[in-house]
């Protein structure tokens, strides 16, 4: 701390002033602090552990796996010789994703994850270490494994066909209920998402959303469904998000509960 500064005048300088005056930011870093020092020490300790495992001919089990993984990672000659061939199937599957939005929605496979992207020029300072980019889930093994499984094993062409088919069945069932009961509203959806909009007119923007949506019926629908085992998304703008685990029986159960609601509201 810097006792030449009165804490009541500038507490930040009082607490950090001496450190700021005497601490030099390393030439290869954009910043330095307690967390950076801890991270550097953790990296050093981790390297010693994995190098020890890699050099231990008697290692077995998990220790041997760690050692072998590290040795393979450090084998630059072998990596260069093989190029991208070992991961080409995975890269081809990822390349088949049509847009950034689709990719973003698959990241993490349901687990907390984050990613940043940019041009090669923009990302260069991060890659070469001039900018220290960190995050809680950066490279988290569990989240990355979930993302890979989601991209390559779950969200297959067959899965998208299933989601389209289930959503079409759900939309058709809800539309039939609306037409039969005369309940003001309409069903709308695409892909795995959809809802019944309780409004006498089509909603096309935020103004018509505020003007025409029946808030009371929308909130009632959520409670009504929850009390009958249909776990709807809370809120005024969304009702269902399908998954590959859903079946036609699940869809029919949703429509049946909606039919009960419509019957009671229009009786």
Instruction: Please write the tens of the pLDDT for every residue from 17-66.
Output: 898 888 888 888 888 888 888 988 999 999 999 899 888 888 888 888 88
Which range among 57-61, 103-107, 189-193, 246-250 shows the weakest confidence by mean pLDDT?
A: 103-107
User: Does residue 143 sit in the same domain as residue 164?
Assistant: no
Q: How high does pLDDT run on average in the chain?
A: 87
User: Does residue 187 sit in the same domain as residue 110?
Assistant: no
Query: pTM above the 0.85 mark?
Result: no
Bridge partner residues of 197 (DSSP) = 186
- The reported pLDDT for the residue numbered 121 is 92
Listed residues 111, 133, 154: the one ending a domain: 154
In a domain, 75, yes or no: no
Written in H, E and C, the secondary structure of the chain is CCCCCCCCCCHHHHHHHHHHHHCCCCCCCCCCCHHHHHHHHHHHHHHHHHHHHHHCCCCCHHHHHHHHHHHHHHCHHHHHHHCCHHHHHHHHHHHCCCCHHHHHHHHHHHCCCCCCCCCHHHHHHHHCCCCCCCCCCCCCHHHHHHHHHHHHHHCCHHHHHHHHHHHHHHHHHHHHHHHHHCCCCEEEEECCEEEEECCCCCCCCHHHHHHHCCHHHHHHHHHHHHCCCCCCCCCCCCCEECCCCCCHHHHHHHHHHHHHHHHHHHC
Confidence check: pLDDT of 106 > 70: no
Confidence check: pLDDT of 124 > 80: yes
User: Does residue 120 sit in the same domain as residue 144?
Assistant: yes
- The reported pLDDT for the residue numbered 260 is 95
Percent of the chain that is helix, strand, coil (3-state, to 5): 60, 5, 35
- The reported pLDDT for the residue numbered 238 is 67
% of the chain residues with pLDDT over 90: 33
- Region 197-214 average pLDDT: 89
Listed residues 122, 154, 186: the one ending a domain: 154
% of the chain residues with pLDDT over 70: 95
In a domain, 86, yes or no: no
User: Does residue 185 sit in the same domain as residue 251?
Assistant: yes
In a domain, 194, yes or no: yes
Bridge partner residues of 240 (DSSP) = 194
User: Does residue 171 sit in the same domain as residue 206?
Assistant: yes
Q: What is the CATH number of the domain that holds 165?
A: 3.90.1150.10
Q: Which domain holds residue 114?
A: 92-154
Residue 89: its H or E element: helix 88-95
- The reported pLDDT for the residue numbered 102 is 67
């Amino acid at each position: 701390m810097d006792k030449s500064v009165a804490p009541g005048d500038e507490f930040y300088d009082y607490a950090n002033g001496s450190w700021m005056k005497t601490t030099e930011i390393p030439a290869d870093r954009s910043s330095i602090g307690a967390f950076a020092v801890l991270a550097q020490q953790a990296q050093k300790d981790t390297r010693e552990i994995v190098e020890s495992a890699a050099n231990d001919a008697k290692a077995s089990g998990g220790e041997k796996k760690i050692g072998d993984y590290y040795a393979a990672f450090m084998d630059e000659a072998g990596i260069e010789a093989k190029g991208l061939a070992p991961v080409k199937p995975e890269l081809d599957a990822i390349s088949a994703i049509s847009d950034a939005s689709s990719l973003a929605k698959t990241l993490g496979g349901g687990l907390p994850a984050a990613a940043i992207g940019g041009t090669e020029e923009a990302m260069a300072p991060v890659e070469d270490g001039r900018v220290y980019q960190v995050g809680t889930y950066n490279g988290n093994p569990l989240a990355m494994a979930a993302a890979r499984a989601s991209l390559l094993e779950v969200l297959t062409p067959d899965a998208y066909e299933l989601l389209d088919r289930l959503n079409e069945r759900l939309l058709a069932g809800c539309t039939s209920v609306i037409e039969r009961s005369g309940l003001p509203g309409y069903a709308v959806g695409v892909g795995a998402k959809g809802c019944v909009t309780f409004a006498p007119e089509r909603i096309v923007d935020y103004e018509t959303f505020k003007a025409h949506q029946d808030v009371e019926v929308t909130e009632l629908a959520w409670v009504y469904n929850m009390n009958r085992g249909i776990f709807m998304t809370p809120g005024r703008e969304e009702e269902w998000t399908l998954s590959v685990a859903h079946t036609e029986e699940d869809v029919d159960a949703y429509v049946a509960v909606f039919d009960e609601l419509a019957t009671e509201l229009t009786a």
